[in-house]
Structure 1
Amino acid sequence: MPNLTLEDIARQAGVSRSTASRVVNDDPNVSESARKRVQEVIQSTSYHPHPAARSLASHRSWMIGLVLPRSVSNFFIDPYFPRLTQGVAQACNQHNYTLGLFLMETKEDERRIFPRISHKGLLDGIILQTAQMEDKIIDRLLKSDFPVIVAGRPFNSRGISFIDVDNVNAAQGAVRYLIQLGYFRIATITGRMNSTAGIDRLEGYKKAIMERGWEVDEGLIAEGDFSELSGYAAMQRLLLVKPDAVFVASDTMAIGAIRAAQEAGLHVPNDISFVGFDDLPVASQSEIKLTTIRQPIVQFGARAVETLIDMIDNGIKPSRRIIMDTELVIRDSCGALQKYVDKAKLEKVNDYGSARIY
C-alpha cells in the first residue's frame, strides 16, 4: 500500500495520530491493546516511518557510530574486526538503528571527524574500539558527556562503560592446560604491550607459570602486534630457545607462528604445540586445527549495542561493565603429549575453566 502516512495508520487502527506516533517511537505510555492494533496495521501494510519525521518526533537520529581510533590500523586485515562489526550491525538492525562506521586513520581524520560525532545530532551513541595507551580519544569523548561504550577494557576504566572478556583468567587457563598436558618450556607470543589485551594476556601467562612454582623466563616471551607476520617473526626468535609449547595471544599470530615452526622442520603437534586466542574461523579451517580460547566476538558486538541503547534510554550513569565468558576449545594443535590428554579431559577441566573437545 504506497504512500501511507501516520494518519492512515492511526485511522486504520482506530487510534489518534499521537498514539500511533508513540507506538512507532517505542514510547511506553501506550496501552497494550492500542499498541497491538497499531503494530498489526503496521505489519499488514508494511508501513515504514519517514526517517526524518521519526527523528524529529523522538529527538534522536537513530544512528549508532562504531569508531575505530588511529591506533587500530589493522581493521581491514585482522579477521577479528569484521566479526565484531557483524555483531554490531546485526543488533543495530534488530533495534531499528542505522550503523555508521568511522575510521580515524590519521590525525587529520580525527581532527575532522571528532567534532561531528561527539555531540548529539549525528549519532545517538558511540561504540569505541579500545585504543592503545598513548591514544587520548577515550578521554576526549568522556569530556563530551555523550553515551559511549568501549569495546575492550580501557587503560583508565573509572567512570567508563566497557565490555570485554576476562583476558587474564582466560590466558591463565590456556597455559594451565598446557602445563597439565606435561609441557615444561612454555613460551608465549604476546599482543602489543601498549594494549590492554596484550598486557592482560601476558599477565595470565605469567600467573599460570608462577602458580606452578616456576620462574618466568623472559627469554620465552616474544612480543607481536596481533598480525600473522608478527607471529611468524616472534616464533622465529623463540625457536632459538627451543620451547615445547607456545601460548599465542591471537589466532592470527598463531597461524604465523605455526608456519615458522613448520618451516624450521618441526611437526605440530608432535614436536611443538600451540594454543591461540579468539577462535576465529581460521582456527578450525586451517590444516592443523588450532586449540584456542573462544571469545564470543559476534555476541560481544551485539551486547555492546544493547548496552549502549540502555545508556541512551536511561542515562550514562552509573557506568556499565560487562564481562563475557570465554571457553577453551581443544583441537589438534596441542596434542604432542597424547598420554596426558585423557587425564586432562576427565580430571582437570575445572582447573582451566569451561572446555570443549573437538
Structure 2
Amino acid sequence: MVTIKDVAEKAGVSPSTVSRVIADSPRISEETKQRVRSAMKELGYHPNAIAQSLVNRVTRTIGIVMPRSAEHVFLNPFFPEALRGISKYAHDEGYCLLLTTGNTEKEQMESLKSIVYGGRVDGLILMYSKVEDKILGKLLELNIPFSMIGRPYSCEDINYVDNDNEKAAYEATNYLIKKGHKRIGIINGSLSFVVSLDRYRGYKRALVENNINLDESLLTSSDFVQQGGYDCMNLLLSNQNPPSAVLVTDDLMAFGAIRAAREKGLKVPNDVSILSFNNIPLSEHATPPLSSIDINVYKLGYEAAKILIDEIQGRSAEKQNIIVETKLIARKTVVNKK
C-alpha cells in the first residue's frame, strides 16, 4: 500500500508538506502542490478521507434531505434528475453525497440529527420546500450550511434555488386560454408544498385577468405520483361540465391523467387538452408527446449544490437566491379550440 512517505520521497518534499497539500493549505506554493499531486497520481495514492475529516473537521460530504423515503421519491423522475445536477457539481468540487431517509417526519428528523450531530456532513441540501416544515426549522436551529430546491415559505435569509412557479403557471394557463380554452381544470400537487401554492396562484391570476370565473369544482390536488393524476382526472371528468383543458403540475401526474381520459373513451387532445410541468425525458416519448413546461431540473440541482459549497468554502458571505428560467415545450397534447 502506498503511504504518504512514499509520495513525499517521490516529490522530494517532507511528509508534512504532503499533508498540507492534501489539506490545500495556502502556505504551500502552487508549484509544490502540482509536484505533490503528480506524485500522488503516479503512485496511485488516495488520502484517507476519514483521517482527514478527523484532523480538519471537514468531511467533504453533503447530506441530501428528501421529502420522504427514497423508496417512494425515486418513483418521480424529478428527483433523480435534480440529484444528477447536484452530483455533477459536488463531484467537480471533490464532495460526496449522503442521502437521509425516513417514511415519516419523525424518522426524517432522527436521520437528520444522526448525520449532523455525528459530524458526517459539511452541509445539507433540502430537496423541497413545505409550508411550516419542522425539518427546515431544525436546520435553522442547527446553524449548519444548507440550501433548498424551492422557495422557502417564510422570508428567512436562506440559500435557495427555484423557478418563478407563479409566473410559469400564469403563462401556461394563458397559453391554454389563447388556444381557445375557457374551462380549464388544474391537477395540482399537495398543497403542503410551496411549489403547488405558487402554481395555483399563477393559474388563478391568468383566469382572473381573462375574466374567466374560478370554478372550485375544477381544482384538484394529490401527491406527485401517477396514481394521483389518475384519480384527479377521474374527478374532473365526472364533473357535469368537464374541462376542455387541464393544467397538470407534474409530468408523472399527467401520465396518470392521460390514462384516466383514455379509460373513459376520451382522446387527448381532441376531447381534453393537457399541459404539464417538468418536461422529464419521457415526455417527448409519450403517446401523444406531452406538452410540458421545462423547469430545467438538472440546473436546479446543480445550482443548489453550487450555492451550498460556496458557503461551505467561504466563497460567499451573503445568502444566494437563484431563479432558473422555464420554457414551454409545445408538443401534441394541446389542441386549438378556436
Aligned Cα root-mean-square deviation (Å): 2.4
CA apart distance, 1:197: 0.9
**Structure 2 counterpart of 1:151:** 149
Which residues of structure 2 form unaligned runs of 5+? Answer: none
Cα pair 1:124 1:312 within 8 Å, conserved: yes
Find the aligned partners of 1:44 and 1:73 in 2 and give their Cα distance. 41
**Structure 2 counterpart of 1:356:** none
Find the aligned partners of 1:52 and 1:324 in 2 and give their Cα distance. 36
**Structure 2 counterpart of 1:325:** 325
Counterparts of 1:87-236 in structure 2, within 5 Å, are 87-106=85-104, 108-110=106-108, 112-119=110-117, 121-236=119-234
Find the aligned partners of 2:36 and 2:328 in 1 and give their Cα distance. 47
Find the aligned partners of 2:105 and 2:116 in 1 and give their Cα distance. 16
**Structure 1 counterpart of 2:61:** 63
Cα pair 1:69 1:137 within 8 Å, conserved: no
Find the aligned partners of 1:111 and 1:337 in 2 and give their Cα distance. 49
**Structure 1 counterpart of 2:298:** 298
The amino acid that maps onto 1:279 is: N
**Structure 2 counterpart of 1:284:** 284
Encode CA deviations 1:263-295: one digit per residue, 9 max, x unaligned: 222211122211110111221222211010112
**Structure 2 counterpart of 1:351:** none
Find the aligned partners of 1:69 and 1:187 in 2 and give their Cα distance. 26
CA apart distance, 1:316: 8.1
Cα pair 2:100 2:108 within 8 Å, conserved: no
The amino acid that maps onto 1:247 is: L
CA apart distance, 1:59: 2.1
- The change in CA–CA distance for 1:223 and 1:92 in structure 2 (over 3 A counts) is same
Find the aligned partners of 2:67 and 2:244 in 1 and give their Cα distance. 37
State the TM-score, normalized to the length of structure 2: 0.90
SS at match of 1:78: coil
Find the aligned partners of 2:315 and 2:115 in 1 and give their Cα distance. 18
- The change in CA–CA distance for 1:125 and 1:261 in structure 2 (over 3 A counts) is same
CA apart distance, 1:29: 4.0
- The change in CA–CA distance for 1:146 and 1:153 in structure 2 (over 3 A counts) is same
**Structure 1 counterpart of 2:251:** 251
State the TM-score, normalized to the length of structure 1: 0.85
Number of aligned residues: 336
CA apart distance, 1:69: 4.6
**Structure 2 counterpart of 1:261:** 261
Encode CA deviations 1:84-122: one digit per residue, 9 max, x unaligned: 223323333332222111112135524532332334721
Equivalent residue for 2:5, pick from 7, 10, 13: 7
**Structure 2 counterpart of 1:82:** 80
Find the aligned partners of 1:52 and 1:73 in 2 and give their Cα distance. 29
SS at match of 2:28: coil
Find the aligned partners of 2:311 and 2:116 in 1 and give their Cα distance. 15
Encode CA deviations 1:215-254: one digit per residue, 9 max, x unaligned: 3222322222222112111112222222111110100111
SS at match of 1:292: strand
**Structure 2 counterpart of 1:273:** 273
CA apart distance, 1:24: 2.2
- The change in CA–CA distance for 1:304 and 1:59 in structure 2 (over 3 A counts) is same
Find the aligned partners of 1:127 and 1:243 in 2 and give their Cα distance. 39
CA apart distance, 1:49: 0.8
Counterparts of 1:236-247 in structure 2, within 5 Å, are 236-239=234-237, 240=239, 241-247=241-247
The amino acid that maps onto 1:330 is: A
CA apart distance, 1:311: 1.3
- The change in CA–CA distance for 1:31 and 1:211 in structure 2 (over 3 A counts) is farther
CA apart distance, 1:42: 2.7
Find the aligned partners of 2:304 and 2:19 in 1 and give their Cα distance. 28
Query: Percent same amino acid at aligned positions?
Result: 37
Find the aligned partners of 1:48 and 1:71 in 2 and give their Cα distance. 33
- The change in CA–CA distance for 1:194 and 1:71 in structure 2 (over 3 A counts) is farther
Cα pair 1:71 1:135 within 8 Å, conserved: no
| Structure 1 range deviating more: 14-23 or 236-245 | 14-23
